[in-house]
Amino acid sequence: MNIVLKASPIPDSAIPAYSPSGRECELFESAWTRQLPLLLKGPTGCGKTRFVTHMAAKLGLPLSTVSCHDDLAAADLTGRFLLKGGDTVWVDGPLTRAVREGGICYLDEIVEARKDVAVVLHPLTDDRRILPLERTGELLEAPPGFMLVVSYNPGYQNLLKTLKPSTRQRFVAIEFDFLPRVSEIAVVSEESGLDESRVAPLVDLAHRLRSLKGHDLEEGVSTRLLVYCASLVDNGVSVRDAVLATMIEPLTDEPDVKAALIEIADAVVRQG
């Protein structure tokens, strides 16, 4: 049986641009309709956060985004007692607010958070859809319009920071990757304002540098960095300076690696 959920539509012009690479938009909407949690997997800067922002706007849902980090604990998501005006009051965290009010709660790079966060998420990601608040004694039931979305970068994990199978298997999962060459050229051109003919060699360089991931580089060039690079070029910065500032310096601090990347960049951009 289909569940009809109400949202507040917004004009198409107000929806952040997003270029689908497959059927991810349909999957997202179906997961939301059937009240299923969603896991997005993919490299840094490939468009996961833009995708969530796009879908939240498209569905007319409020979006709460949390960038996870080493010190993020369960209490940062659920809430805590704080002193206000001499009184001790309970203040909801972003996850609790989303469960109370509905909307999307997006936890970006979930594996960076402390391990107690997974314990809090588990009862929200099965058929119970509940959030126990031990400190207040509440047991919150997620409304039909609540959706939990998390993301992580599988290629950046190590033995100490992994998403356990018992957690992964609670989510519908979508794998993301960088766009095909032609599509990425179009997206970078649209985002930066730089003509596609001038964007093409930058995209070719990014593809070349991405092939070094796992060898000389921990991460490849993200689409986000490509947009930064093209934006600088469109603003009059030389291609070489823009490439150095956005596609080489952010990726490594090693002088030898940096020199090798500059040599590759000079060759690829010159060919383009």
Q: What's the pLDDT tens digit per position in 4-56?
A: 345 555 666 678 889 898 999 999 999 999 999 999 999 888 999 999 999 99
Is the model's pLDDT at 270 over the cut of 90?
Answer: no
Q: Is 128 found in the same domain as 28?
A: yes
Distances (CA, A) of 225 to 45, 50, 236: 8, 14, 17
Q: Is 189 found in the same domain as 146?
A: no
Q: Is 188 found in the same domain as 170?
A: no
Q: Is 157 found in the same domain as 44?
A: yes
- 2 domain residue, yes or no: no
CA 226 from chain centre, in angstroms, equals 17
Pairing label, strands 138-141, 130-133: antiparallel
Helix (H, G, I), strand (E, B), or coil: what is residue 209? helix
Predicted pLDDT at 156: 59
Q: Is 250 found in the same domain as 125?
A: no
Structural domain range at position 267:
181-271
Q: Model pTM?
A: 0.86
Q: Is 144 found in the same domain as 34?
A: yes
Instruction: Please write the tens of the pLDDT for every residue from 87-132.
Output: 899 999 999 999 999 999 999 999 999 989 999 999 999 999 999 9
Q: Is 168 found in the same domain as 203?
A: no
Is the model's pLDDT at 2 over the cut of 50?
Answer: no
Instruction: Please write the tens of the pLDDT for every residue from 217-263.
Output: 778 899 999 999 999 999 999 999 999 999 999 999 999 999 999 99
Calculate what percentage of the chain has a pLDDT beyond 70. 92
Q: How confident is the model at residue 85 (pLDDT cuts 50, 70, 90)?
A: confident
CB atoms within 10 A of CB 74: 19
Q: Looking at the chain, which runs of residues are DSSP E strands?
A: 38-41, 63-67, 79-84, 87-92, 103-108, 130-133, 138-141, 146-152, 172-175
Total number of residues shown for the chain: 272
CB 66 within 8 A of CB 109: no
